[in-house]
């Protein structure tokens, strides 16, 4: 198919070389392949071109009259911009070209008699590599989006089931327990045996209500509102203290608000897993959960004085992979530290909304 018949827009290529005759020949060789080509004979002209319009590929001579080619790249990158590039280098500069490859060049081509023949295929390989990288990045972004949707759907279903347990089954069991208690009072004098049975039934129903509430709390650990994470962590510390053999404290300077419910949920689950690890695996005596917010960055830290995580075999049973995964879903950094004094520190930092 000819370039004119193709529905794909031509690649935009900027060719930079201070040999104006060679510059024209290189541009014509690339235009013959259907590319849209701009040229620049100096570092300054190339920089202005790059800033004024986007380019898909840069073909860059390492030695320009007004600056080294690498200086153009550094200046352009300093403006928080990026452009894929291929190095065009003269004889004897192969070593310099290889060094530039380490800084991100896709390829390099020598200035020799074969340059004009090789240039189109070099540009084609580079553009194909760029297209593959872009497709991979798009696929990863789509995967992350779909994964986030699956997680969000799962959380909604968990909340729905938890609400049904708490508001439906829990309330029904409570009503039956009240009925048994009332009936027991009516039969206490006339039918003591029946009253005793009713008391047993009431006790079982109270236990069933407690179990139902426990299950509902596990499915819906946080309430609503931006302060839900703070209050959820406070309740987690309180429940951990109720175990009796470990002290768990929540330390914050103030009530930290997290408006994003999904972020709050994932951070809570990370804290829950870390606290459970400290109790179950590390045999900690003291656990500190802290929640800090600085300049929009939110840091959750769980520290314990237990035996620590010592090898890969133990890691596999501690849910570290799941914690890292949850952190990744919300774009947070996850770090595991082992202080010299012992214990484990897990830190998760969420950068906030971009």
Report the alpha-carbon distance of residue 34 to residue 65 in Å, rounded: 29
Matching CATH topology for 12-112 and 228-350?
no
Q: What is the mean pLDDT of residues 6-14?
A: 83
Confidence of residue 1 (pLDDT cuts 50, 70, 90): very low
Strands 333-337 and 344-350: antiparallel
The per-residue pLDDT of the chain, averaged, comes to: 85
Q: What is the pTM of this model?
A: 0.55
> pLDDT for 283-325, tens place per residue?
889 999 999 988 889 999 999 998 877 655 455 556 888 899 8
Q: What are the boundaries of each domain within the chain?
A: 12-112, 146-219, 228-350
Among residues of the chain, what percentage have pLDDT more than 70?
91
Architecture of domain 228-350: 2-Layer Sandwich (3.30)
pLDDT tens digits, one per residue of 28-55: 999 999 999 999 998 889 888 988 899 9
CA-based angle 107:111:113, to the nearest 5? 120
Specify the pLDDT at position 315: 53
Q: What is the mean pLDDT of residues 8-13?
A: 90
Q: Per the structure block, which two tokens stand in for 19?
A: 């040999």
**Banded pLDDT at 165 (limits 50, 70, 90):** confident
d(CA 27, CA 123) in angstroms, rounded, equals: 12
Multiple choice CATH, 12-112, 3.40.50.300, 3.40.50.2300, 3.90.480.20, 3.30.750.24: 3.40.50.2300
324's tokens = 């890292």
């Amino acid at each position: 198919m000819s370039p004119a018949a193709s529905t794909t827009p031509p690649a935009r290529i900027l060719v930079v070389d201070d040999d104006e005759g060679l510059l024209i020949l290189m541009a014509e060789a690339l235009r013959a392949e259907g590319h849209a080509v701009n040229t620049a004979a100096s570092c300054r002209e190339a920089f202005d071109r790059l800033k004024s319009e986007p380019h898909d590929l840069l073909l860059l001579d390492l030695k320009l009259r007004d600056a080294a080619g690498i200086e153009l790249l550094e200046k352009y990158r300093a403006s928080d911009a990026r452009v894929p590039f291929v190095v065009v280098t003269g004889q004897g500069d192969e070593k310099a070209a290889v060094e530039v490859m380490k800084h991100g060049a896709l390829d390099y081509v020598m200035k020799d008699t074969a340059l004009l023949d090789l240039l189109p295929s070099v540009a084609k390989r580079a553009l194909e590599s760029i297209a593959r990288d872009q497709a991979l990045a798009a696929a990863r972004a789509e995967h992350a989006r779909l994964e986030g949707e699956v997680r969000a759907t799962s959380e909604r279903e968990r909340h729905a089931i938890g609400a049904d347990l708490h508001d439906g089954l829990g309330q029904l069991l409570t009503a039956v327990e009240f009925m048994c208690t009332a009936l027991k009072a009516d039969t206490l004098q006339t039918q003591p045996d029946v009253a005793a049975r009713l008391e047993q039934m009431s006790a079982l129903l109270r236990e069933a209500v407690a179990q139902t509430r426990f299950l509902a709390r596990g499915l819906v650990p946080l309430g609503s509102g931006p302060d839900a994470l703070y209050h959820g962590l406070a309740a987690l510390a309180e429940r951990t203290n109720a175990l009796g053999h470990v002290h768990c404290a929540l330390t914050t300077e103030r009530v930290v608000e997290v408006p994003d419910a999904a972020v709050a949920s994932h951070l809570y689950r990370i804290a829950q897993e870390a606290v459970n690890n400290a109790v179950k695996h590390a045999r900690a005596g003291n656990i500190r959960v802290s929640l800090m917010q600085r300049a929009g960055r939110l840091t959750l830290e769980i520290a314990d004085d237990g035996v620590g995580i010592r090898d890969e075999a133990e890691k596999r049973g501690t849910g570290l992979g799941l914690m890292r995964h949850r952190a990744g879903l919300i774009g947070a950094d996850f770090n595991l530290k082992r202080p010299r004094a012992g214990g484990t520190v897990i830190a998760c930092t969420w950068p906030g909304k971009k």
